[in-house]
């Protein structure tokens, strides 16, 4: 059977239409699209769909109820012969469904592996499903860092505090850019000019850290380094723009002792591990930024999916991980699956690199282009 299970109307428009026959058979209508219906919780507007009867929106609980993906019309919402009932996804749910065919859910990968690689007369005669789940999740984590490049991004505005909180599912940053009025990105670079201390012990007059009644170090609430960095601008006009002036009064980013991260006007940032924030230089206050970062694809259920181009690599990873951890498996079999895993992972990287011949030819053309003044 084909893998597509929803109609064109469900995919493109997010709708499924029913016409009540004569005589009326039922007041229950089943949504068959790939996106599960989500009802609104008390005080939270998180529903991802709406129900209409003859183009009039019905009210949840008083005119219809929901059980799974089934809609039951009740009260004044009950339909009669000839009525047109429409279940329609809201726009954000529709957007999340677009392009979903290029992925396979991790649960489907686990089921497929148990069918194809586990059983009598196979190298893996039996295995616990929990073991397969563990290796699949570990594989998804490792693939996310180097192969899948699961890059997420957030659009944020830098507040007066010059700090933004690290995203909840953050593993490592990819790029940070501020956005100008035309929507173009300008890269913000990390800086070595300053740093963020991880501890702030309070010292006695002799320099020894002081302790509280429990014997733990007393810690300051605010870093002096961070305060000075926040209050002082690297682009201040109070300093003379003269290369003959010694590098003593914060002449960073000007002519004397220029460093690569200072030779630009887009600002700088540091990662403050103590407070769990990104800290920016003060010329970026109020700027709109895009923070791009990678996650491990395990933070949310919706993230636990795999590009189909890397599906075979995941099967090889699970098989190798199971066989290499078992006693009594001949070493030549373990090595064979290790090579198969390496080969499949290499193929996945090539596929996901998405290199097109037209783009390569354009790079060569740019290389031969003369720069005219």
* DSSP secondary structure string for all residues of 172-224: EEEEEEEE-TTS-EEEEEE-SS----S--BPB-TTSPBPB-TTSPBPB-SS-H
pLDDT class of 206 with cuts at 50, 70, 90: confident
| Relative orientation angle of helices 311-324 and 331-353, to the nearest 10 degrees | 160
Angstrom distance (rounded) from CA 194 to CA 270: 8
Q: Please check the confidence at residue 142 and state whether its pLDDT lies above 60.
A: yes
Name the token pair of 145: 């860092």
| Strand-pair partners of 30 | 70
Q: Tens digit of pLDDT for each residue in 259-315? A: 766 777 888 899 999 899 999 988 899 999 999 999 888 877 777 889 999 999 999
Q: Tens digit of pLDDT for each residue in 337-365? A: 999 999 999 999 999 888 888 888 888 88
For position 207, what pLDDT does the model report?
Answer: 86
Report the pLDDT averaged over residues 102-107: 91
The residue behind tokens 């089943």 is 30
Helix (H, G, I), strand (E, B) or coil at 76: helix
Q: Tens digit of pLDDT for each residue in 81-101? A: 999 999 999 999 999 888 888
| 28-30 sheet: strands from edge to edge | 28-30, 70-73, 64-67
Name the token pair of 140: 């998804």
Angstrom distance (rounded) from CA 251 to CA 243: 9
Looking at the chain, the whole-number percentage of residues with pLDDT higher than 70 is 88
Helix (H, G, I), strand (E, B) or coil at 16: strand
Interacting residues of 319 by C-beta distance below 8 A, sequence separation 6+: 113, 117, 123, 124, 337, 340, 341
Structure pTM? 0.76
Q: Please check the confidence at residue 234 and state whether its pLDDT lies above 80.
A: no
Angstrom distance (rounded) from CA 99 to CA 262: 41
Q: Are 71 and 31 in contact (CB under 8 A)?
A: yes
- Is the C-alpha dihedral spanning 118, 122, 126, 127 positive or negative? negative
Angstrom distance (rounded) from CA 307 to CA 305: 7
244 or 184, which is more confident?
A: 184
Average pLDDT over all residues of the chain: 86
For position 370, what pLDDT does the model report?
Answer: 65
Angstrom distance (rounded) from CA 168 to CA 146: 20
Helix (H, G, I), strand (E, B) or coil at 272: strand
Q: Are 274 and 196 in contact (CB under 8 A)?
A: yes
* Cβ-count burial 279-318 (b if 16+ within 10 Å, e if not): bbbbbbbebebebebbbbbeeeeebbbbbebbbbbbbbbb
pLDDT class of 373 with cuts at 50, 70, 90: low
Q: Please check the confidence at residue 241 and state whether its pLDDT lies above 70.
A: no
Q: Tens digit of pLDDT for each residue in 9-41? A: 999 999 999 999 988 889 999 999 988 898 877
């Amino acid at each position: 059977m084909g893998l597509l299970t929803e109609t064109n109307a469900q995919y493109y428009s997010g709708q499924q239409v029913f016409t009540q026959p004569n005589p009326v058979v039922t007041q229950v209508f089943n949504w068959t699209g790939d996106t599960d219906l989500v009802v609104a919780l008390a005080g939270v507007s998180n529903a991802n769909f709406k129900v209409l009867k003859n183009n009039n929106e019905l009210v949840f609980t008083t005119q219809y109820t929901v059980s799974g993906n089934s809609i039951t019309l009740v009260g004044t919402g009950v339909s009669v012969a000839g009525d047109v009932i429409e279940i329609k996804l809201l726009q954000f749910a529709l957007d999340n469904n677009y392009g979903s065919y290029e992925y396979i859910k991790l649960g489907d990968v686990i089921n497929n592996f148990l069918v194809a690689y586990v059983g009598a007369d196979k190298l893996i005669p039996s295995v616990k499903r929990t073991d397969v789940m563990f290796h699949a999740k570990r594989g998804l984590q490792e693939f996310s860092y180097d192969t899948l490049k699961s890059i997420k991004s957030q659009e944020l505005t830098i507040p007066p505090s010059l700090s933004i909180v690290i995203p909840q599912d953050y593993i490592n940053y990819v790029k940070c850019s501020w956005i100008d009025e035309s929507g173009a990105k300008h890269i913000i670079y990390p800086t070595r000019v300053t740093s963020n201390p991880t501890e702030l012990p309070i010292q006695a007059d002799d320099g020894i850290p002081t302790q509280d009644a429990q014997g733990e170090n007393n810690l300051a609430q605010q870093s002096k380094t961070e305060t000075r960095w926040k209050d002082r601008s690297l682009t201040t006009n109070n300093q003379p723009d003269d290369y003959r002036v010694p590098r003593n009064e914060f002449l960073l980013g000007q002519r004397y002792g220029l460093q690569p991260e200072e030779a630009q006007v887009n600002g700088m940032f540091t990662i403050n591990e103590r407070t769990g924030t990104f800290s920016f230089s003060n010329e970026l206050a109020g700027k709109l930024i895009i923070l791009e970062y990678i996650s491990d694809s395990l933070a949310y259920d919706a993230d636990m999916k795999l590009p189909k181009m890397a599906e075979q690599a995941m099967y090889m990873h699970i098989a190798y991980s199971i066989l290499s951890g078992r006693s009594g498996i001949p070493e030549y079999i373990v090595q064979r699956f290790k090579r198969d895993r390496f080969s499949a992972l290499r193929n996945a990287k090539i596929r996901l690199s998405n290199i097109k011949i037209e783009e390569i030819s354009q790079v060569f053309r740019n290389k031969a282009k003369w720069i005219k003044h």
